[in-house]
Structure 1
Amino acid sequence: MGGMMIMKERILQVQGLRKYFGKNDNRTKALNGMTFDVLKGEFLGIMGKSGSGKTTLLNCIATALKPTEGKILLDGKDIGAFSDRQLADYRGSRIGYLYQEFELLDNLTGRENITLPMSIRHIDEEEGAARLAELTDYLEIGEVLDKFPAGMSGGEKQRVAAARALILDPEIVLADEPTGALDTQNARVLMQKLHGLNCEFGRTILMVTHDAGAASYCSRILFVQDGYIFHELRREFPHESQKNYYERILAAMAQLGGSADVF
């Protein structure tokens, strides 16, 4: 019985994932046998230097890339075996993706950008309006719903992008360097919002970051080097402060290869 409970808690399982680019002598091993689970409701961070395989990993989970070997299971089902229709459903509504550069459509207003996934998937208008209202309120983006991206600040764009990633109520949110294009203040606001989505709304978030400040909002961090995981940090809830956790992250980064800015 206990075993059943544990199985239920794993929302995502990455098993022996390998991704190679190129042929023979020129082959690069972007992922070199990566195995880990993402538990339902956790905020998991992935850290590592540039070129360590972090974005490749997210792209495999998002099915933008096909792994060379290994499996990715969502709720116990192998996404590599999905039919075209299952894949479209997976990409469309079971995962939400938050990009570093926002990826908003310039010719659409904030509201239109956010609701675009709903119109593609023919979501009931009333249900959609209720979701939009809840996210607008939580992410504090009411003032920019009728603006075009050109009239928004970086922080506003990223919060609009977050609303778009969340509008279909995905099981897991993939965030690729979500603070990468933001200044410190906007980065902090965004991270507080993501942290709240995780704690208050129980969202499962998998975030790639090179920033220790952003990572300090995670409940657990996997450090990646040369395409595999070689270190893990967990925040010791409830007694460990975020500041102390942040300092442990910095120490781990320093130990794993020099200065923090090469991350």
Structure 2
Amino acid sequence: MTSHKIEVCHSADLKKLLVEAGVVCARTVPQSEDISLSSEESVKDEPVQEIEAEHEQIVLEEERTYPTEEVAEEQPGIFPTPSLRKMLPEKIRMIEKHNRIHVLPDVFKTDIDPMKIPRICSTHPQKYINELAEITGCKNYMNSLAEFWFLDTLANLLRRAQEDGFEKTSQIVLIQWFCEWMKEIQHFDAATRQRMLKRFKDIMLLAAGYLAQYDELPAPADVGVSYKPEETSGASLPPTASTSKHVVTFEDFQCCLTDLTKITHYIFDL
């Protein structure tokens, strides 16, 4: 519940900043009879004074939660933060991989057709699970509880995104970031909670920097982010914005910034 209140406050602050800057995301959120009254709508019905009081309380809690002085960490050899994997010989790592039970596919699909993304609220659960399995490449979900959990969680994230009015292009980016973060967690064998949160923060700031430069939501590959250390070494912003053959619509900067904020909260809530 606390994370939801923080999300509401962050969204309100972002909306205020955009209005002060003279830009507003004109995209409208689609209304559907299948969508029940969400907790966010109930928060909107509360008196303004209560929301402001909660906002101030959350800000104070955030200030108390995070120390004012950060512990100096060794400069990363791998961008944007040090690898969270143990330094093991490749032979040992291959043996561990062979002995490990199946969790997720070795590689997720990245070439996603936006027209195949199901509308979660109006699609039968078995059907959208099958469609998401085809989109991401999870072919063993009927025999793997881990893959089924992954698909079910992805469906919930897409439901939130679709209720928030995400366009197809933003939904594709959400899928790609969720897949990347699941792979990151799968290989975080040398991570602590603090290092994981720091890496997630750095990755999202990297995505925000790309957005500020190119006015579009970046996929993990666009900013050189990968759970594989050999693929992230020396990564930096690409010289030009990436293009996709599955372009549906172009979103303005303010809409993309709003979507990136929500994507950050969606994944962080996990």
Give the TM-score taking structure 2 as reference length.
0.31
The two structures have a TM-score, normalised by structure 1, of 0.31
Whichever structure has more strand as a proportion of its residues is: 1
Normalized per residue, which structure has more helix? 2
Larger Rg: 2
